[in-house]
Amino acid sequence: MNTEIANFNYYNPTKIIFGKNRIEELATLVPKDKKVLLLYGGGSVVRFGTLDKVKAALAGYQIGEFGGIEANPTYETLMKAVELVKRDGYDYLLAVGGGSVIDGTKFIAAGALFDRDPIHIFGAGIGDKLPITKALPFGSILTLPATGSEMNSGGVVTFVEKKPSLALEVQ
């Protein structure tokens, strides 16, 4: 049995704020001059009051909402959010939900500033994979810690038309 421990370096610039009633601190974390788009999924954040708490914490900010990000979010749904961001000039995204909402927000953050059609973020015969060189800033209110999406740069986006789920890597 090999008992040597491998050397490695680990860098993860994610800031974690954890604990009861921490949503109240959002106004100290989201820059005051940003127009914020709240992104969420199927409605549990509405039913449990989380979205109302987020809105209360961001009183005085310009905020908008985009709900309906499904599990394994679809490119088609996410492109609607990209179009909303571009049309209405949102410059900060706040994911409120679990891993799928965070995955979708990563794509929206990159797609909104992508110089070409965001389909080119992906390869695998769907687009000519081009590098992501910029993205909107975003934060996450994690409601279901299960996927690790809050701690990495990857994500899953599903294409309804072509069927595959493809990985997204935001650097």
The contacts found for 144-148 with CB under 8 angstroms, 24 or more apart, are 144/97, 144/98, 144/99, 146/98, 146/99, 147/98, 147/99, 147/100, 147/102, 147/103, 148/99
* Residues 89-134: tens digit of each pLDDT: 999 999 999 999 999 999 999 999 998 888 888 765 666 778 888 9
Position 170 scores a pLDDT of 55
**Where are the domains positioned within the chain?**
32-169
How close are the terminal C-alpha atoms of the chain, in Å? 37
Position 3 scores a pLDDT of 76
Torsion of CA 71, 72, 75, 76, to 10 degrees: -30
Tell me which of 130 and 76 has the higher pLDDT: 76
Position 97 scores a pLDDT of 95
Please give the model's pTM, rounded to 2 decimal places.
0.86
Helices within the chain (DSSP H only): 26-29, 44-47, 50-57, 75-88, 99-111
Please give the CATH architecture assigned to the domain spanning 32-169: 3-Layer(aba) Sandwich (3.40)
**For the residues 159-170, what does the mean pLDDT come to?**
62
pLDDT above 60 (res 169): no
Position 31 scores a pLDDT of 95
Query: Average pLDDT, whole number, for the chain?
Result: 88
Position 27 scores a pLDDT of 94
* Residues 18-68: tens digit of each pLDDT: 889 999 999 999 999 999 999 999 889 999 999 999 999 999 999 999 999
Position 42 scores a pLDDT of 85
